[in-house]
Structure 1
Amino acid sequence: MPFTLSQQQSLLAQKGIGTTILKRLQEMGLDDVKQLAKTDPAFILERGAELTGSTCWRNSPQARKAIETAVNWAKTQCDVTTEK
């Protein structure tokens, strides 16, 4: 189920998370809290690099921190641990 408006607002309130991160997660099909919570940040960064055609997603410490923040936020929303 896609993020609710309140979930979007909550995620956007996290440090380092902006509308671009939210948009990319949605483009990747990671706009579901449970799915996001189960996804490895490294996979998200790799996928982001593929979507944008830029290595910045893969190499940027800021991007890594933002994605880790998003995944951790999702885990707190549903208490799911990452599956590998």
Structure 2
Amino acid sequence: MPFSKEQELSLLAQKWVGKTIISRLYEMGLDDVQKLADSKLVEVLERGSKLSGSTCWKNSPQAKQAIQNAIAWARLELKK
């Protein structure tokens, strides 16, 4: 099930996570807390790089931090 509006707003509040990151997560099918929590950082960065056609997803410290923060957020959400 896609993120609820509340979840999306909460995810946006995470450092480095913006609308573009969330859009990419949706494009990758990571539109659900469980799926995102189960994701591996390197795999998400690889998929993001292929999807965008840019290596910045793999090489950018900001992209890496954004995805780390998104995954950490999802894992915390599951504990609620």
Q: For the superposition of Structure 1 and Structure 2, which TM-score range results when normalised by the shorter chain?
A: over 0.9
Give the TM-score of the pair, scaled to structure 2: 0.97
Give the TM-score of the pair, scaled to structure 1: 0.92
Whole-angstrom CA distance in 2 between matches of 1:41 and 1:78: 18
What residue in structure 2 maps to residue 16 of structure 1?
Answer: 16
Does residue 67 in structure 1 map to residue 67 in structure 2? Answer: yes
| Deviation per residue, 1:52-73 (Å, 9 max, x gap) | 0000001111100000000000
Aligned length: 79
Q: Which runs of 5+ in 2 are unaligned?
A: none
Whole-angstrom CA distance in 1 between matches of 2:38 and 2:5: 21
Alignment of 1:4-43 (within 5 A): 4-43=4-43
Which of structure 1's runs of 4+ aligned residues deviate more than 2 A?
none
What residue in structure 1 maps to residue 53 of structure 2?
Answer: 53
